[in-house]
Structure 1
Amino acid sequence: MPSDDALQQAAPALLLPRIRFVLVETSLSGNIGATARAMKNMGLSRLALVRPKQGARFADADAVARASGADDLLQAATLHDSLAEALAGCRLVLGTSARLRALEWPLLDAEGGGARLLAEAAHGDVALVLGREATGLRNDELALCHYLVQIPTNPDFSSLNIAAAAQVFAYEIRRQLIRRPVGSAAVADERPELATADEMEGFHAHLMHTLLAIGYADAEQCGTLARRLRRLFHRARPDRTELNILRGVLAKVAGRPGAEPDRRSG
């Protein structure tokens, strides 16, 4: 078995490529470039963009100038039509916000968020989601996240530039990586077959369809119910077998006695 020292030396190559920074509907291309620079400073490389204002032309002169040598991250960045698509394959998702929400969400500070991302990356892909410059993440987008993560700032002036926020989180990830043995930075759920974000999305769609079909939920008033159920299952973090069981139950409840569970989520 490799020693702790050997694991520590291998950690950047093993863990950092599994950590995904996801930017949602970024307005300024310069902020994308500056985020790429912040990531590369700390050894991170996976950048995903959800509907940037410039579309596929986001890597313009301003983005390249602000990237200041991190052009390779811009070239390798992936473009997505939805946040759910950008999170495909992730076992853990953290959503950033400068404000708390009416529906309480599990909360981490920047240090705890960096530690949790690093610890969970030992077992699979993870993501940190940063929202729009002016308005941040919508509630339905935060509902795709397991935790809300915040940087402790001046409460009278709490909004950070998106690239500045990315730098803080990237630094916390790097700090946890170099200061502690692998796996000791935070308690991680070590089950290797946890359902991924896209698999959970399939389940939630199935769940709400069933609740509407049996008359438990109202199509015009089910938003809060859906978010509460998401929060419940995010806490539980089912594995793929458990998720397949739940979808089998939903199929029975919906009155399809001969139906088989959707194997795509298991």
Structure 2
Amino acid sequence: MLENIRVILSHTTHPGNVGAAARAMKVMGLSKLGLVNPKRYPSAEATERASRATDILASAQVSSSIEEAVADCRLIVGTSARTRSLPSKLITPRELTEIIQQNPERYPVALLFGTENSGLTNEELHMCHYHVCIPTNPEYSSLNLASAVQLIAYELRLAFAEFDVPSQRITENEVPITREQLNGVLQHFDQVMRHTGYIQPQQEKQINIRMNRLLSKADITQSEMNILRGFLRSVLNYCDKHKSNK
């Protein structure tokens, strides 16, 4: 089970934190690390802080964007100590393990951690199905990046180290779509809304954000995606025929 969970660190500024996060992961049995535009990597400091978890650093996947890092993931979870406008579903680390246990069809799972100074951006959080908030002292809620990784990894190990979640027989059409496929659906909606004149320039950003949130929360399956995209194609075809008949 733990091999289906990917820890992704976005725009890290201190290489020591990357190494410490790798060590925290290995202690708890996690092995998949992703890095999005790290400021310095590879780094001797990261290697030193990783101690005997250098194998995790060596196999880390480096991406240029969050979209690239989570393209094949079916469950995306952001972490942040701050509340935001338009938040995703807010859960605790323990609730996260329950969600993963109850949805074995939603692998791989991506856990996103933001840059040390400011955490994940609102745009990055809008890509997430859930928003994990570690219940800390409200008067001093700041956690070191590696400590946050360690706490969530600990909860995952408690839930999954002694047993594995039994696989459920789910047809291919009912498997949730990947983030890459969801991006394709969003682009298709954008194309149709522009074609019909629905999107106005002053509303474009908010509509895109809300459509992203709406479809992320819907947990769209393969068959549902096929219905949506078939409908969107029919809208475009109808518009083109209507224009040609004028």
Q: CA deviation at 1:241?
A: 1.8
What are the within-5 Å matches in structure 2 for residues 144-223 of structure 1? 144-178=127-161, 182=165, 193-223=175-205
- 2:77 aligned counterpart, secondary structure: strand
Contact 1:26/1:132 (CA < 8 Å) preserved in 2? yes
Q: Give the whole-Å Cα distance in 2 for the aligned partners of 1:161 and 1:67.
A: 15
Q: Give the whole-Å Cα distance in 2 for the aligned partners of 1:39 and 1:115.
A: 19
Contact 1:35/1:163 (CA < 8 Å) preserved in 2? yes
Q: Of the candidates 86, 104, 113, which is equivalent to residue 130 of structure 1?
A: 113
Contact 1:120/1:126 (CA < 8 Å) preserved in 2? no
Aligned CA-pair RMSD:
2.3
2:98 corresponds to which residue?
115
- 1:254 aligned counterpart, secondary structure: helix
Q: Give the whole-Å Cα distance in 1 for the aligned partners of 2:124 and 2:106.
A: 24
Q: Of the candidates 213, 218, 241, which is equivalent to residue 223 of structure 2?
A: 241
Query: TM-score scaled by structure 2?
Result: 0.88
Q: Give the whole-Å Cα distance in 1 for the aligned partners of 2:179 and 2:193.
A: 21
The answer to whether structure 1 residue 49 and structure 2 residue 35 are counterparts is: yes
**Which residue identity lines up with residue 244 of structure 1 in the other structure?**
N
Q: 1:256 to 1:53 in 2, by over 3 A?
A: farther
* Segments ≥4 residues shifted beyond 3 Å: 117-123, 178-181, 255-258
Q: Of the candidates 11, 18, 25, which is equivalent to residue 25 of structure 1?
A: 11
Contact 1:51/1:79 (CA < 8 Å) preserved in 2? yes
Contact 2:37/2:62 (CA < 8 Å) preserved in 1? yes
Q: 1:224 to 1:180 in 2, by over 3 A?
A: farther
Contact 1:115/1:172 (CA < 8 Å) preserved in 2? no
- 1:216 aligned counterpart, secondary structure: coil
**Which residue identity lines up with residue 197 of structure 1 in the other structure?**
R
The answer to whether structure 1 residue 251 and structure 2 residue 207 are counterparts is: no
Q: CA deviation at 1:222?
A: 2.1
**Which residue identity lines up with residue 7 of structure 2 in the other structure?**
F
Q: Give the whole-Å Cα distance in 2 for the aligned partners of 1:112 and 1:140.
A: 23
Q: 1:101 to 1:204 in 2, by over 3 A?
A: same
Q: Give the whole-Å Cα distance in 2 for the aligned partners of 1:77 and 1:230.
A: 28
Residues 100-153 of structure 1, C-alpha deviation per residue, up to 9 Å, x if partnerless? 111132111111123323544565211100011111111111111100111001
What are the within-5 Å matches in structure 2 for residues 58-69 of structure 1? 58-69=41-52
Q: Number of residues paired by the alignment?
A: 238
Contact 1:130/1:162 (CA < 8 Å) preserved in 2? yes
Q: CA deviation at 1:257?
A: 7.5
Q: Identical aligned pairs, as a percentage?
A: 41
Of 202-211 and 115-124, more deviation after overlay is shown by: 115-124
- 1:222 aligned counterpart, secondary structure: helix
Query: TM-score scaled by structure 1?
Result: 0.82
2:75 corresponds to which residue?
92
